[in-house]
Each structure stands twice: as C-alpha cells, then as structure tokens.
Structure 1
Amino acid sequence: MQPELEARVSRKLMWRIIPFVMLLYFVSFLDRVNVGFAAMTMNKAIGLSPTAFGLGGGLFFIGYFLFEVPSNLILHRVGARIWIARVMVTWGIISAASAFVAGPTSFYVLRFVLGVAEAGFFPGIILYLSLWFPAKQRAAAAAWFMAAAPISTAIGSPLSGAIMQMPPMFGLADWQLLYIIEALPAVVLGFVVLKYLTDAPSKAHWLQADERAWLIARLKSEADERKGHAGHTAGALSALRDPRVLALALIYFGTSAGLYTLGLWAPLIIRQFGFSALQTGLLTGIPSVLAVIAMVLWARHSDKTEERTWHVVIPCALACVGFIFAGQAGTALLIVLALVVVNVGISAAKAPLWAMPSMFLSGAGAAAGIAMINSVGNLGGFVGPFAIGWLKNVTGGYSAGLYVVGATLAVSAAVTLLLSRKAAQQPATGCMRHDH
C-alpha cells in the first residue's frame, strides 16, 4: 500500500504545483531579461553606452540582493500565497513602467526598483517546494521549476524578436511595446496565485485524507531526522552565519554570472553577425531547448544516485569551457554551439545545487539561508553582465568579458569540491553527499 500511496502523492504534487510555479518563473524570467532585446533599439533611443547598459542590467540584482532575505522571512511568516501574489503584481507594474525610461538615470532607477519588487520570488518558491516535496524528489522538483528559465528563453526570445519587429503603435516604439506586452501576464497571474496556491500540505484539500496524512508524516520524519544531525541549522541568524550557506552562495554566484550574461548579452552577441531581430530570437532560443532536456535528466540522475557534489562540479566546468570557446568563436555557428555548451552546463548545475541547502537547514533557517544563497549568488547577475559591457568598451570585443565569466564558473566548481571535502570530514552533517 505504502509505495502505491507514495507514487500517488508524488504524481499529484508534480501535476498540481510544478506546472503553475513554472509558469510564474517563466513570466518572471521573461521580464528580467527582455531588456536584452529592448536594447537593440532602446540603447540608441535613450543614449546608453555598452557600459551603461551593462550597469543598468546588473543594478536589478543590487535591489534584489538588499531585499531578498527580509522578503523571504516575510513569506515564511505570512505564507507563500499572499506574498508571491504581492511580488508578482508589483514587479509587473514596474516592468511595464520600464517602457517610459528616458535616459541612463531613469533606466538605472527602474532596473534597481524592479529588483526590489521581485526580491523573494525565486527563493520563496525554492522554500515552498521544500515544504511540499520529500527529500528524494527535491532536485527533480527544483529542476522542473528552474527549467522555466531556459524555456522562457527558448519561447520568449523568438516572441521578443517578433515584438521588436512591430511598427510603432499608440506613439510607442518597438522596445516600449515589448516591456508593456510582456509585463501584463505578471499582473494577471498575481491575482491567480491568490486563488490557486496552497500554503501548506495541511491545507491541501486537493489531496485525499490518507494522502495528506502520509505527506505530513513523511515531511515531519525527514525534518526530525535532520534536526538530529550535528550540523543542522534552524535559526535565521545562525543560517546567515553558516559557512556552508556562504560557500553555496559563492557557487551560485558563478552560475548566475553565466545565466544573466546569456540573458542580457546573447541577443546582442548574435545580432552582430547581421541577423534580423526575429532570427536573433530563434538562434538565442535553440541552446535553451537543449538546456531544459539536460537539466531534467541530470537532476533525475542526481536524485537517483543521491549524489550532489559531482552533479554540480561537472556542469560548472563544462560551462566554463563553453565561455572560453565563445570568446574564441569567430562565426555565428561556433557562437551558437558555444552557447549550447554554456546553457547546458549552467542549467544542469542548478537543481543539484538547490537540493543541498534543505539537507542542513529548516524553518526560519531555511527561509533565511536559501534567500542568502540566492541574493549573494545573484550578485553574479550584476558582475557578469557589467564585466561584459565594461570590457567591451575597453577592448572593443566580447572575448575578455566572456573569459571573466568563465572564470567565475571555474571558482564555482572548485568551491563545490572544497565544500564536499569539508562535509566528508564531518559525517554527521551528511551535507553534500547524500539526501537522507
């Protein structure tokens, strides 16, 4: 009876929760990186240099960084339903307002405020998944959720490219229409969240009584087992001081630098070969399709083998090689191939990485720790795009910036190995090796 019940609950959780949170992240990611397509005509229209664009693109993450931990602690207190709805409506409104930037200063301000509005969304959902999915399903659940980022690039890039070819309407240029059209779904979905999201398994009326009881008991026994480990952290302050949290933030820094370099700069890197906006969108989307497949298969393998370390190290190393390759590629075909390698590496590393914090964090500690990893790690989203823009101004090309971003992923791989070695010396924590 037990395996059949477990399978039934797993199936219901996957179908009820995952497609919906994927849709939310899809829209979130689209609003974050559509600035890369807007840049095709916006930069000239409002007078942005490559450095100014890279700085503004990255300022999003400074706002995000400052408000991430408080936002996630509020979510832990008031529940995911209300807080995620608030996040979505505010970021949708601000994203639409980006259509009215008039120069570098207003561009900087709105990018920063967009980061503030969206702070807490991603770690909030990661925390939310840890409240619903038993440990051995967690990497797969996180992988499906995070697959929305490359899917957003795969579908959103051609969509953004097509919008950028629209004629002016209502006195608005193509880049202004792009911001407004792509912001509307966030506002609408914010209200849907209030209706659809369930805060905790105890309130899940879409589960039968025996299914609900099994899930609550399973999650409680896992939490009790974690608390029995010497390295377990439940308090918010102790989580923020935990060296493992800081190490995971550093690892995530490299993957974020890579991801947002792709999101903000890939359209412009591809466009330089003379493609139209729509062709650029299609070519930007291709690597992302392969990344989704790699991400889900790799996460399943990580869950099955209960191994996390090498499932993070290998993809980070692969993405590093991809950036070096991209820096040396001289043709459109080689650039797209390099971007395939980078996309696959970055996407595959993320789910095993996000399965690690819940091995040694719970309660307010999990809320604060996951937010800390995400906020510090996302500063890579500032450093990567800014380095590319600044070094392009200095050198006239993209290569130097691509090598810098590649180096951050080499650091991610090295820190993962060091963290694993440290965990092996403290078997009580079991942190990086198995997902008990």
Structure 2
Amino acid sequence: MSGLTKSVPISDVGRSAYRKIYRRIVPLIMVMYLLSWMDRVNISFAALSMNNDLGLTATAFGLGAALFFVGYVLCEVPSNVIMQKVGARIWLARIMVTWGLVASGTAFIVGEQSFYVARILLGVAEAGFFPGVLLYLTLWVPSQMRGRITALFLMSAPIATVIGAPLASAAMVGLNGFLGLAGWQWLFLAFGIPTVVVGIAAFWLLPSTPALAGWLSNEERSFLVDQLNRERQESIGHKAAASALSALRNPRIIGFALAFIGLSCGSYILSFFLPQVIDSFQSRYGVKFSVMEIGLLTAVPFGIAAITMFFVARDSDRRQKRLRYVVGGELVAAAAFVLATLVDTPVLSMVMLSIAASGIYVAIPLYWELPGQYLSATTAGAGLALINSTGNISGFVGPYATGALKTATGSFDSGLILAAVALTIAAVAVSLVSRRPRRRLSESQSEQVESSYTESPQGV
C-alpha cells in the first residue's frame, strides 16, 4: 500500500471515519459473534444435565458436538461465494436467522439421533458466518488497522463464555420445569431466539461497504474507499491471484489451513469440555460445586483470555508483528494444558486452564492477519473460507476424540494432552508456512498506525 493522500489528513477525516466504524459496526459484529459462539457451544453447559436426561455417553456427546462441523465444512465455501454475490448485509442476516431457528429447535431433541441431526443442521445454517465477517472487515478497514478490530470481534468468543456461562447456569437452574421444559431446553431457547432478532436487525444496520454508509460524511467515505482501493491494487506476492479457484490451489493458503487445524483443535476442546472438566474436579479433588458455581468458574479462564487478547492485539498492531505472538500463544497454551494434568489442586488447575485459554485467544485473531498478506481481493472470500473450513476439521476430530478418550480412560487428561499436541503442531506449521511480509508500511502509514494509539478511536 502507498501512503495516505495529502488532501485527506489522518488527524481529522481518517480518525473520524475509524471512530464511526468502532461505534457503528464493531459492537454489532461483536454481539453477532457472541451469539454465534453461544449457540455453538451452549451444549457444553447443557451437557451437565442433558446427557443424563437423554442417556448420552461422553462419546455420544463428543460425536454430537463434532457433527456441527460436518455441515459447517461442507457449506462454508459456497456460503462465502454467495455472500460476495449478494452482499454482506443480506447474507449475514440470513445466516443468523437460520441458525437461530435451528438452535432454538435443539431444545426439542429426544435422543442421540435427533441430537446428531440438530448439530449437523446447525453447522449448515451457520456456515460462512465467521469468514464472512472477516471478509466484511476487509471491505471496511485497511490491513494495518485491522488487527485490533479483528481482535475485538474475536474477543466475543471468550466474552460469550464470561457472560453466557452464568446465564446458562441460571437458566438451567431457575427455569427447570417451567412450562414442562427442562432447564437445558430453556438454555437453547434463551440464546436461539435472540439470535433471530439480532439477525433481522443486522439486515438494517450493516451497510455492505463504506460507499453505502449514510452515517459517513462524503470526506470520510472517500478516505476509506481510497485507502481500500490502494490496498487492493497492491501486488501481493509474486503475482496477484486472478480467481477464487487459484486461491483454492494456492499451497500457501492450504498450509495456513492445515496450521489452523491445530489451533482450532485446542480451542474447541477447551470450549466444548471446560464445564465438564471443572465438574470432574469434584471426584478428582474431593470438592463440591453446584451447577451455578460451575458456570461461574467456567467464565474465569475466558474472562482472563478476553483481557489478554485485546492488549496483545493492540501491541501487535503497534509493532506490526503477528507471527511471534501467534507461535508464542500456541506454545504457551500447549505447555499450560500439559501442566493442568499434572498439578494437584483445583486452584492450580484453574490457573493452568486460564493460561491455556489466554494463549489460544492471543493466537487466534493475529493468526487471521497472516493469510491476508497472500490473498487478493478476488480470492479473499474463497480463501478465508477454505482456511476456516479446512481448519474446522479439527472441530470434528478434537471433540469426538476427547469424548471417546474420556469414556475409555475415565478422565479428561488425555483430551488436554491432545489439545497440547495439536497446538504444538500448529505453532510449527504456521512458522514454516509464513514468510516475512512482502509489503512494508510506508512512512506515512507507520505514522498512521502509531497515531492511532496516541489518539485512539476508542479512547483507550
């Protein structure tokens, strides 16, 4: 990318444009992803009573959790291709409404088979949302400013657990038996119905591009359009890809996808099984926890992770360093998972699990900044979808293997070791596939990045 134009000084027009993006777009996409994450993983809380009510073994639960990714992987690339044709506003709203309806319907499953069907349908409904939002951000924010916004978006995942864990526990306890429904059934309804409402709101509140945003001034709109056009015209790598198909055949993109398998494996094992891991402390350490206490304890590692990921992403944007934080976060998380199986008190176990969560959530948002250095505008949608859908293969393997290992060994330790191994492989893989960025920020852009932290659009 070239520098900023002299006629549009970053000190007024540029900063004003970014401030409006932070106020108008970022909060909404954070809420959208928060609901996405809760509708995906609320079975981890429901399992505390649902498994017994429906007669699900740990293996059956792990398989059901994993089957979400079958529909997700199969439909993600087509979903993002359609999004590029119809626009972000229409397609993201459609995705949310559909998955909200399916998530609500999960309240009425009656056994293993209906559980499996509901999870597959949820994956089909949600396919394309995550890479779709990442693609949407590339249509609004130049790359050197995108790291912190991406981190804020992805921060919704740990925040979802911080907020959702106590709410999920309260719903399961307080609404149990109301209108003849079990607490875990109300849990699915409590998050599925708001998803439909937010999806409808997103249709009206998310402009597809800056050119269509009525709340931007003409100068702000011109600033963003100019910066994004300059970025798209920049040659990436040896030769810009000419089609989405070329992204699907790009060995570097495939390499990033394989690296993401390990990272997402650790993330999903933690997200799907942490409430049950904490519940297992009762037999392992001789302590007693209520369902509400398990929900509150589950929120702790994710709360620490949310704070950590924001400040690390902010520092990464300032320094324009991504790879070192990605690899470091993965290795720290791997070590913490191993140590969590070796300590002999619940307090130390929670400390290790909190460190593991922080390492994972430091790595995830910054990881997503790496592939963008090698994707052209024409291949961004299919490329990001390919990486995410391929990486989410581990969303099937990790939870299913963890459930099977729990059934076979009676302990979640093997699952935590599996997460550690996957994260270590991810750290090695992303190091091998990454290269020093071929683009360098111009002097004026470097000043833009630095000034964004002295006078932040968020005031932080």
Give the TM-score band, short-chain normalised.
Answer: over 0.9
Report matched runs for 1:174-213 at 5 Å.
174-213=183-222
Q: What's the offset of the Cα at 1:172?
A: 0.6
Q: Does 1:43 align with 2:56?
A: no
Task: Give the equivalent residue in structure 2 for 1:361.
Answer: 375
Report if aligned partners of 1:270, 1:335 keep a CA contact under 8 Å in 2: no
Residue in structure 1 matched with residue 159 of structure 2 by the alignment = 151
Alignment of 1:45-194 (within 5 A): 45-166=53-174, 167-194=176-203
> Structure 1 residues 324 and 385 mapped into 2: Cα distance closer, same or farther (>3 Å)?
same
2:10 aligned residue: 3
- 1:381 aligns to what? 395
The count of residues paired between Structure 1 and Structure 2 equals 428
Question: For residues 316 and 439 of structure 2, what CA distance do their matches in structure 1 show?
Answer: 19
Q: Is the 8 A contact 2:269 2:415 kept in 1?
A: no
2-side partners of 1:243 and 1:309: how far apart? 19
For residues 64 and 124 of structure 1, the distance between their equivalents in structure 2, rounded to whole angstroms, comes to: 13
Say if 2:308 and 2:358, in contact at 8 Å, map to a contact too: yes
Look up the equivalent residue of 1:417 and give its one-letter code: S
Distance 2:117 2:328 in 1: 38
What is the Cα deviation at residue 429 of structure 1? Answer: 7.1
Q: How far, CA to CA, are the matches of 2:344 and 2:40 in structure 1?
A: 29
C-alpha separation between the residues in 1 aligned to 2:310 and 2:138?
18
1:180-200 Cα offsets, whole Å, 9 max, x none, are 111111010111011101001
> Which residue of structure 2 aligns with residue 277 of structure 1?
291
Distance 1:231 1:323 in 2: 41
Question: Are 1:360 and 1:429, in contact at CA under 8 Å, matched by a contact in 2?
Answer: no
Partner secondary structure for residue 226 of structure 1: coil
1:232: how far off? Answer: 3.1
- Which deviates the most, 50-59 or 6-15? 6-15
How far is 1:428 from its partner?
4.7
Residues 284-299 of structure 1 mapped to structure 2, 5 A cutoff? 284-299=298-313
The superposition leaves residues 123-143 of structure 1 with CA deviations (integer Å, 9 ceiling, x where unpaired) of 000000011011111111100
1:240 maps to which of 228, 242, 248: 248
TM-score of the two chains, using structure 1 as the length reference: 0.95
Deviation at 1:174, TM superposition (A): 0.9
- Structure 1 residue 294: Cα displacement: 1.1
Worse-superposed segment, 68-77 or 163-172: 163-172
Q: 2:33·2:154 contact (CA, 8 Å) conserved in 1? A: yes
Q: Distance in 2 between matches of 1:330 and 1:98?
A: 38
Normalising by structure 2, report the TM-score. 0.90
% identical aligned pairs: 43
CA distance, structure 1, for counterparts of residue 344 and residue 74 of structure 2: 39
Query: 1:37-74 deviations in whole A, cap 9, x for unaligned?
Result: 11111111111110010010011011111100000110
How far apart, in 1, do the equivalents of 2:43 and 2:344 lie? 25
Runs of 4+ in 1 over 4 A off after TM superposition: 427-430
* One-letter identity of the residue aligned with 1:399: D
CA distance in 1, matches of 2:214, 2:350: 47
Label 1:428 to 1:143 Cα distance change in 2 as closer, same or farther (>3 A): closer
Aligned-pair CA distance for 1:234 = 4.4
**Aligned partners of 2:108 and 2:342: how far apart in 1?**
37
The CA distance in 2 between the partners of 1:327 and 1:381, in whole Å, is 22
User: For 2:31 and 2:167, how far apart are their aligned partners in 1?
Assistant: 16
Matched, 1:255 2:263: yes
1:58 and 1:386 in contact (8 A); partners too: yes
Q: 2:329 & 2:239 partners in 1: Cα distance? A: 27
Counterpart AA for 1:358: G
Paired position in structure 2 for 1:26: 34
User: Could you tell me whether the CA contact under 8 Å between 2:147 and 2:365 is conserved in 1?
Assistant: yes
Give the Cα separation in 1 of the matches to 2:93 and 2:420: 36
1:367 Cα offset (Å):
0.2
CA distance in 1, matches of 2:414, 2:190: 35
The residue type paired with residue 389 of structure 1 is: G
Q: Name the amino acid aligned to 2:218.
A: A
Relative to structure 1, the CA distance from residue 295 to residue 234 in structure 2 (aligned partners, 3 Å threshold; closer, same or farther) is: farther
Structure 1: 5+ residue stretches without partners: none
Partner residue in 2 for 1:400:
414
Separation of aligned partners in 2, 1:330 and 1:168: 38
Secondary structure at 2:141 match in 1: coil
Does 2:331 correspond to 1:331? no
In the TM superposition, residue 231 of structure 1 has moved relative to its aligned partner by 4.6
RMSD, matched Cα? 1.7
1:411 aligns to what SS in structure 2?
helix
